[in-house]
């Protein structure tokens, strides 16, 4: 039998399960020589990505020269950790591009959202105001990517539609 032990199902042809390289479930784990010292590192790269999502130290084998071989349990743990790293990075990127301010006065409570567009050629953001009690969209407009969203600017925009920016 090729690529399988007796009685076990064969791995799909695109899967690789070598001691220093695993490719499975959309991820590639590679054990590499650590350039900073005499040890080893492991890098986890999502299939299709150009950069690893995670690079970390890897355990030495019993001979204290070669790396410990990758196995199913280690690969599963590495996939979980790399996935969590990507989730945190994506959440951080979203938080850098999205701001929200709640404001109000005797006329009502509002939520104003600022969403910065990922556009290097035309940097801008979208400003949108909502009635907090009903969730109704009141207005939205395009503003500069450097627009300063404060409680005062949010309230002015929610009530009047003016952003304070010169057009």
Instruction: Note down pLDDT in tens along the chain; length 167 residues.
Output: 444 445 555 555 688 888 999 999 999 999 999 877 778 999 999 999 999 999 999 998 888 888 999 999 999 999 999 999 999 999 998 888 999 999 999 999 999 999 999 888 999 999 999 999 999 999 999 999 999 999 999 999 999 999 988 65
Does residue 149 lie within any of the structural domains?
yes
CA-nearest of 136, 44, 56 to 86 is 44
Does residue 91 lie within any of the structural domains?
no
pLDDT score, position 110: 97
pLDDT score, position 61: 87
pLDDT score, position 13: 62
Considering the domain architecture, whether residues 105 and 153 belong to the same structural domain is answered as: yes
The answer, as to whether pTM is greater than 0.75, is no
pLDDT score, position 2: 47
Considering the domain architecture, whether residues 108 and 155 belong to the same structural domain is answered as: yes
Considering the domain architecture, whether residues 102 and 148 belong to the same structural domain is answered as: yes
Give the pairing type, strands 27-33 and 125-131: unpaired
Structural domain range at position 25: 16-70
Report how many domains make up the chain.
Answer: 2
pLDDT score, position 165: 87
Does residue 76 lie within any of the structural domains?
no
Task: Decide which of 51, 70, 89 is a domain's last residue.
Answer: 70
pLDDT score, position 20: 93
pLDDT score, position 94: 87
Considering the domain architecture, whether residues 103 and 154 belong to the same structural domain is answered as: yes
């Amino acid at each position: 039998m090729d690529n399988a032990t007796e009685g076990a199902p064969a791995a799909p042809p695109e899967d690789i399960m070598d001691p220093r390289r695993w490719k499975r479930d959309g991820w590639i784990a590679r054990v590499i020589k650590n350039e900073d010292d005499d040890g080893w590192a492991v890098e986890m790269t999502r299939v299709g990505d150009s950069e690893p999502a995670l690079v970390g130290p890897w355990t030495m084998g019993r001979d204290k020269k070669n790396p410990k071989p990758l196995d199913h349990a280690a690969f599963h743990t590495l996939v979980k950790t790399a996935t969590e790293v990507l989730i945190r990075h994506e959440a951080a990127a979203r938080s850098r591009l999205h701001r929200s301010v709640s404001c109000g006065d005797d006329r009502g409570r509002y939520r104003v959202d600022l969403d910065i567009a990922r556009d290097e050629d035309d940097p801008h953001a979208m400003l949108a105001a909502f009635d907090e009690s009903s969730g109704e969209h009141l207005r939205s407009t395009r503003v500069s990517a450097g627009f300063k969203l404060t409680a005062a600017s949010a309230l002015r925009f929610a009530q009047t539609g003016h952003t304070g920016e010169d057009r």
